[in-house]
Amino acid sequence: MAGSRATPTPPADGLLPVFLTRGKAPAAALLAREGTSTRYAEAGPGIARSDHFRAGSITKTFLATVVLQLASEHRLSLSDPVERHLPGLVRGAGNDGRALTLRSLLTHTSGLYDYTRDTEGLVPVTAVEAVRIALTHPPADRGRFAYSNTNYVLLGRVVEQVTGRSYASEAERRIIAPLGLTGTSFPGSRTSLPSPHGRAYDTDGTDVTTLDPRTAGAAGELVTTLADLDRFYAALLSGELLTSHRLREMLDTRTAHGLYGMGLFPVTLPCGVTVWGHNGRIAGSYVRTAATVDGRRVLTFRVNTTALADPGLEPALLAAEFCPRSS
């Protein structure tokens, strides 16, 4: 009688140890989802499936979803000038909120300077302080894609002005609670991570597990889990959170010249498959979620350090997961 055949390791899972060697990450993990099935893999010590971690700019997808829901409710329009909701705030060094729309903030085509270049993502600031830092610099070419955290800090303020509640409260009410994302939160000024969690390290090995998330605010303060991110992106892309019209707007990259939609960006892999999602980088954590456009297949991976030493590992992992394999 023939012996049983070992189940082969999926190609993406097999790449995780390389994130430690070539990527110089202390540990790495991924959670893949297809329909209702999930697959978890990890490499390195001190990392677990249930860990809470900081998700950085993945916060932007949550915030963009809230803004698009408000647009569906006719509480704002994407063509509104920023000035309509935040009168007098965006003025200085050639910047003018009267000439910028909410759409330009969502698509990173406002030309506003990224305030984190000056704070280096380490200095806690209020939203108004972040905007004031940005406004000491002249704008880049308006209408050209230029990623700037300032755009989403302003959108957080817009949500607050329109609803009378914080962007965190609106995201909790509209996304986190309905989807049952029990591991996801907006920590505000809380510097500790919820349990369970591992340690987080900067690229020089410094332990940065304790961090004031006000360094990122509406542009990147989110704390979450692998399972919650897979659930969120699957729900978003399958149409659970937005009308079909608003989801098409979110995926429309023409304003940003093919580089960015609204809180989402596409990556076309070598095999021709295009995946949608976002990445997030904050001190001690790098996270990436990618999904098929229908949300049926999703992959989230994370490392417990600020950046991968070899940036080519991320596209290699996505190709290993999403490109068809011959049997």
User: Is 83 within a domain?
Assistant: no
User: Is 148 within a domain?
Assistant: no
CA distance linking residue 327 with residue 322, whole number of Å: 15
Q: Could you give the C-alpha distances from 176 to 38, 154, 188, 228, in angstroms and in order? A: 20, 21, 16, 9
User: Is 2 within a domain?
Assistant: no
Tell me the pLDDT of the chain (327 aa) as tens digits.
Answer: 454 566 688 999 999 999 999 999 999 999 999 999 999 999 999 999 999 999 999 999 999 999 999 999 999 999 999 999 999 999 999 999 999 999 999 999 999 999 999 998 788 999 999 999 999 999 998 899 999 999 999 999 999 999 999 999 999 999 999 999 999 999 999 999 999 999 999 999 999 999 999 999 999 999 999 999 999 999 999 999 999 999 999 999 999 999 999 999 999 999 999 999 999 999 999 999 999 999 999 999 999 999 999 999 999 999 999 998 754
Give residue 148's pLDDT.
98
| 8 A C-beta contact, residue 32 and residue 207 | no
Cβ count within 10 A of residue 91: 13
User: Is 129 within a domain?
Assistant: no
Q: How many structural domains does the chain have?
A: 1
Coil/strand/helix, residue 35: coil
Q: Strand runs (DSSP E) across the chain, as ranges? A: 28-34, 37-43, 53-54, 91-92, 95-96, 223-224, 265-268, 274-282, 285-291, 297-303
- Nearby residues of 41 by Cβ (< 8 Å), 6 or more positions away: 10, 12, 13, 16, 29, 30
What type of residue sits at position 206? T
User: Is 314 within a domain?
Assistant: yes
Coil/strand/helix, residue 41: strand
Peptide bond into 196 cis (omega under 30): yes
User: Is 152 within a domain?
Assistant: no
> Whole-model pTM?
0.96
Give residue 11's pLDDT.
95
User: Is 157 within a domain?
Assistant: no
Give residue 122's pLDDT.
80
User: Is 144 within a domain?
Assistant: no
Domain encompassing residue 254:
12-74+168-322
Coil/strand/helix, residue 271: coil
CA distance linking residue 250 with residue 271, whole number of Å: 24
- CATH number, domain at 239? 3.40.710.10
Strand partners of residue 246: none
| 8 A C-beta contact, residue 35 and residue 238 | no
